[in-house]
Structure 1
Amino acid sequence: MGSCGFLVNVKRSEVVAAASAQEHWLPMSNLDLLLPPLDVGVFFCYKKNNDTTSIPEKNLMTTPTESMVAAVKKALAQALVSFYPFAGEVVQNRLGEPELLCNNRGVDFLDAFADIELKDLDLYHPDTSIHGNFVPFKKQGVLSIQVTELKCGGLVIGCTFDHRVADAHSANMFFTAWAEIAQAKGTATYTAPSLRRSMLNPRRPTTYDAAIDDLYVLLSSLPPPKEPKASDDRLLSRIYYIEGKEIGQLQSMASYNGCRRTKLESFSAFLWKTIAEGSCAQIKKVNLGIVVDGRKRLKGRDNEEKKFSMQNYFGNVLSIPYAEASVCDLKEMNLEGVADMIHACIEGANKEDHFLGLIDWVEEHRPQPAAAAVYFKNSEDEEAIVISSGLRFPVAQMNFGWGMPDFGSYHFHWGGQTGYVMPMPSVSREGDWIVYMNLLKKHLDIVESKSAHVFRPLNPAYLKMNKGCWM
């Protein structure tokens, strides 16, 4: 591997299975079935560990890095006992729908070395520096992991998982449990996942609001995809940081008369309006999708179900409503008005009835595959982006025994035409955000030309990497 001026050499490739497991089938929930076969990446960067006494199970016959890799691998096998869907395989049933075969096939685990130092790693351009180099391509199974030692002694842990099996909330549960087990604290306090699929069973009889027909589409109803033109814009990834004071300023601009918008609503409004203001004359409409997690809304429908908290549920509990507006309207509206549209969009989906209706909608259309409508253009003069909150991303908790990461980010490299944006907390400066963007190049150009004071390219100075290996 290697496409960015450095080489990544895989020293060892193996499969790590759960320490104990029992084979069985686990059906996908109706909400899982709304996810196409997309792989999601995530990575954590650690500076060189000079305190070798803190490394779990350090062996005098091994190097500190070898001991770190061994600790990560051992904890993985133990974490997979509870999070066993990550050790399985996605297969098709007789109806052509995906199902999860929990057969303890295991996780592909790569031990690698890269001849580059952390301070020289271009995190601002993750397509060339991170993708395929430190975040592995998933070939089989549900989850793949790569641990890469760098020339300076730093470490990068990259993971790729099947989105049909887990959303970000579920993955975050796994990451924190994995790290806690590696610290060998004795008594584990991590949240055990719930795989109780009955929590998301359809109602009898099924019923749903007609508005869901506008939010989700059957793939069979879409026209055949057009052959891409050589001149077509393409999605590119960038990573920025936003200072806390700028986020606070956006929130103040989007709030009014005692109506205080959330930081995510304010950020989303600013980005939506910025892209619209820079759009060319041929684009008449820009749609904005917001990923909504339904865990806090779904409470269970009988006493037995209510014993189980949806906060522990492992799987997908997502809806992607979207707001649509003309470029002309977005240009003329102030930030308060744009934030109002986003708030209304979120509130419309942030209800138990919405998620129960979405489950029922899928049930009525099975086994036909469906997906969120915001990902598909209705005409050539409209575009869309989707924003998902990663503000609960547990980067500070990813301590395997040698300290928290100095940087972490999701990496959503899906290759469609709809942009994807995820803000996450910064570990470099409290209150700041790290923002991962996978947008059309022209949209990135708009963001950087019109809002450079807000979106600042991630650089070694911000991450304090300018001296040695993040020291």
Structure 2
Amino acid sequence: MAPTSRVDAGAGSSELTVVVLSRRLVRASDPSIQPQQRVVTFSNLDLYPDNVQASMVCLYPKLPKKGDFEAIVATFEAGLPSLLNKFYPLTGRIVINASSGLPELHCENQGAELVVGEVNVALGSLDYAIAEESLKKMMLPYHEGVTLSVQLLSFACGGFSVVWGTNNLVCDGPASGMFLSMWSELARTGRMPDTLSVNHDRSVFRPRDPPAYSAGLDGTFATYDDRRMVNALTADASFVERIYYIEASDIAKLRDKASTSKQRASRVQAVSAYLWKALAAVVAASSRVPEERCCMGWMVDARRRVKAPALVPAMRNYFGNVTAYALADAAVDDILRKPLAEVAARVRDTITAIDYDTYLQELVDWVEEHKPEHVMEKGVLGLGSPTVNQTVFASFPFDTDFGFGEATLALPMCEYEALLRVPLGWSAARRRRLVASQRIHMAAARGGARL
């Protein structure tokens, strides 16, 4: 048995202790399935999100019957090897190339990590208002080179959690959703579609020679150094990550207010418009530094938005990163004055107006000229006008039912500060609620105000 990992859950919470019962490697079961290259070069779209671990945390409050946790562990032990045959990057290791300073993926079927543990408290005893006091306590650390760490924890109440720990270099949200959905189908039915081919060809995103990009894209991104960021010394104390439960009826009301007789607003557009107006109100009320403008940014899955004949088929079941950043800038007074429907229309127009083929190529070229530096959107870094950034799961819904019912909560967690994540992609049966995880900047400073 591995050493006990004791974590203080904080004031007002039950003391949470995780006992790791086992930790082992699971390899792809078919040795004949090998990548064309043992050392895979990450695309520039992979390098852009940076080398950051990210997890999907899924909570299942109640087992069908007592003692089924052993059956859950057995399900993972039996099914993961077959699943990894289609997702060989998740059995590899991330290694920093000594010459270039860039990360690369070594694929030799080293194995994904499977961790089994137990927790001495009930799921319901945790403080879910604060992620640090609940979900993040369930996320066990894993080596920075590991590309997949599956963590199964049983709780005293009979419920359990599944944490899917990956790395942003390997896949984005849509790719993770595809992986989870394929796992659920395999675990429930014992098979995956024979015709389903996962695309791992990262060479589809190649830089041009010479690289070329517009001034607009160049102005959107910046290189950065963690040690030289404005709030590097106070970041941990300045941010709090909260989780909100919002009734589906409230989202429906927002949609009604954000819609017109000619255009029905989507849930994403309605929520975005509400957040943008809320940000504008916060900025207008701030007395520290007057700001005349505020921005809203969206992390957009570009797979379904490309149009180039060569890219469209390549994006089907593409496992990697294809995230675009859409940014809208407006006067604070303008956002406050306009009705919700007009702000929602601006959200829609901003996201749909982008030529995603051109955008992706320019981003690939821009990263080519700026690696191995860290790069990120200026709005995410807190540079320029106050900005609220949103990643939306509506575009890549996923299946969490692997034979023991759907997860009550499935939420992405990572260490990017100042990101607002709004998981809207529930299936029809799960649209009873919306759970938002929000980092709130508690001291509004120039270019750093966060809702």
Match of 1:71 among 75, 100, 106: 75
Q: What is the alpha-carbon distance in structure 1 between the residues aligned to residue 24 and residue 192 of structure 2?
A: 29
Q: What is the alpha-carbon distance in structure 2 between the residues aligned to residue 82 and residue 88 of structure 1?
A: 13
Are residues 287 and 3 of structure 1, via their aligned partners in 2, closer, same or farther at CA, if it must alter by over 3 Å?
farther
Are residues 233 and 108 of structure 1, via their aligned partners in 2, closer, same or farther at CA, if it must alter by over 3 Å?
same
Paired position in structure 1 for 2:447:
none
* 1:339 matched to 2:347: no
Contact 2:299 2:325 in 1 (8 A): yes
Paired position in structure 2 for 1:152:
157
Match of 1:46 among 55, 60, 85: 60
* 1:124 matched to 2:129: yes
> Alpha-carbon deviations, 1:246-291, whole Å to 9, x = none?
2222223223351333221221110121132134222524332101
Paired position in structure 2 for 1:281:
287
Contact 2:131 2:243 in 1 (8 A): yes
SS in 2 for 1:321: strand
Paired position in structure 1 for 2:254:
250
- 1:327 is displaced (CA, Å) by 3.6
Q: What is the alpha-carbon distance in structure 2 between the residues aligned to residue 233 and residue 281 of structure 1?
A: 21
Paired position in structure 2 for 1:16:
26
- 1:165 is displaced (CA, Å) by 1.0
Using the TM superposition, name which of 281-290 and 425-434 deviates more. 425-434
Match of 2:368 among 363, 367, 370: 363
Contact 2:239 2:439 in 1 (8 A): yes
Paired position in structure 1 for 2:178:
173
- 1:186 is displaced (CA, Å) by 4.1
- 1:172 is displaced (CA, Å) by 0.8
Are residues 238 and 360 of structure 1, via their aligned partners in 2, closer, same or farther at CA, if it must alter by over 3 Å?
same
Are residues 104 and 40 of structure 1, via their aligned partners in 2, closer, same or farther at CA, if it must alter by over 3 Å?
same
Superposed CA RMSD: 3.0
Q: What is the alpha-carbon distance in structure 2 between the residues aligned to residue 124 and residue 311 of structure 1?
A: 37
- 1:72 is displaced (CA, Å) by 1.3
Runs of 4+ aligned residues of structure 1 deviating over 6 Å after TM superposition are none
> Alpha-carbon deviations, 1:376-426, whole Å to 9, x = none?
2336xx43221011125545x222222222332222333x3x232222345
> Alpha-carbon deviations, 1:418-453, whole Å to 9, x = none?
232222345796433423323125499xxxxxx9xx
> Alpha-carbon deviations, 1:277-330, whole Å to 9, x = none?
13422252433210111112335555xx66x34131110001112223344443
What one-letter code is carried by the residue in structure 2 that aligns with 1:400? Answer: F
Paired position in structure 1 for 2:377:
372
Q: What is the alpha-carbon distance in structure 2 between the residues aligned to residue 169 and residue 428 of structure 1?
A: 18
Paired position in structure 2 for 1:28:
42
Paired position in structure 1 for 2:448:
none
Contact 1:137 1:160 in 2 (8 A): no
Paired position in structure 2 for 1:387:
390
Paired position in structure 2 for 1:407:
409
Q: What is the alpha-carbon distance in structure 1 between the residues aligned to residue 231 and residue 131 of structure 2?
A: 27
What one-letter code is carried by the residue in structure 2 that aligns with 1:289? Answer: G
What one-letter code is carried by the residue in structure 2 that aligns with 1:35? Answer: P
Question: Where do 5+ consecutive residues of structure 1 fail to align?
Answer: 53-62, 445-450, 452-471
Q: What is the alpha-carbon distance in structure 2 between the residues aligned to residue 159 and residue 413 of structure 1?
A: 15
Alignment of 1:97-136 (within 5 A): 97-131=102-136, 133-136=137-140
- 1:82 is displaced (CA, Å) by 1.0
Contact 1:410 1:436 in 2 (8 A): no
Contact 1:412 1:420 in 2 (8 A): no
Contact 1:215 1:372 in 2 (8 A): yes
- 1:191 is displaced (CA, Å) by 4.2
Paired position in structure 1 for 2:275:
271
- 1:336 is displaced (CA, Å) by 3.1
Q: What is the alpha-carbon distance in structure 1 between the residues aligned to residue 400 and residue 156 of structure 2?
A: 22
Using the TM superposition, name which of 114-123 and 174-183 deviates more. 114-123
Are residues 187 and 39 of structure 1, via their aligned partners in 2, closer, same or farther at CA, if it must alter by over 3 Å?
closer
Q: What is the alpha-carbon distance in structure 1 between the residues aligned to residue 113 and residue 394 of structure 2?
A: 28
- 1:346 is displaced (CA, Å) by 1.2
- 1:192 is displaced (CA, Å) by 3.4
Are residues 198 and 277 of structure 1, via their aligned partners in 2, closer, same or farther at CA, if it must alter by over 3 Å?
same
Q: What is the alpha-carbon distance in structure 1 between the residues aligned to residue 229 and residue 53 of structure 2?
A: 21
- 1:85 is displaced (CA, Å) by 1.0
SS in 2 for 1:296: helix
> Alpha-carbon deviations, 1:309-367, whole Å to 9, x = none?
41311100011122233444433333234324323321243532222222233334444
> Alpha-carbon deviations, 1:117-160, whole Å to 9, x = none?
233343332211120x3222232311222101111222111122
- 1:167 is displaced (CA, Å) by 0.3
> Alpha-carbon deviations, 1:34-78, whole Å to 9, x = none?
1122222212122433358xxxxxxxxxx5322211211321222
SS in 1 for 2:424: strand
Match of 1:317 among 322, 337, 344: 322
What one-letter code is carried by the residue in structure 1 that aligns with 2:111? Answer: G
Are residues 3 and 348 of structure 1, via their aligned partners in 2, closer, same or farther at CA, if it must alter by over 3 Å?
farther
Are residues 215 and 348 of structure 1, via their aligned partners in 2, closer, same or farther at CA, if it must alter by over 3 Å?
farther
Q: What is the alpha-carbon distance in structure 2 between the residues aligned to residue 173 and residue 116 of structure 1?
A: 32
What one-letter code is carried by the residue in structure 2 that aligns with 1:18? Answer: A
Q: What is the alpha-carbon distance in structure 1 between the residues aligned to residue 182 and residue 163 of structure 2?
A: 16
Match of 1:295 among 303, 312, 315: 303
Are residues 254 and 399 of structure 1, via their aligned partners in 2, closer, same or farther at CA, if it must alter by over 3 Å?
closer
| TM-score of the two chains, using structure 2 as the length reference | 0.84
Are residues 399 and 223 of structure 1, via their aligned partners in 2, closer, same or farther at CA, if it must alter by over 3 Å?
closer
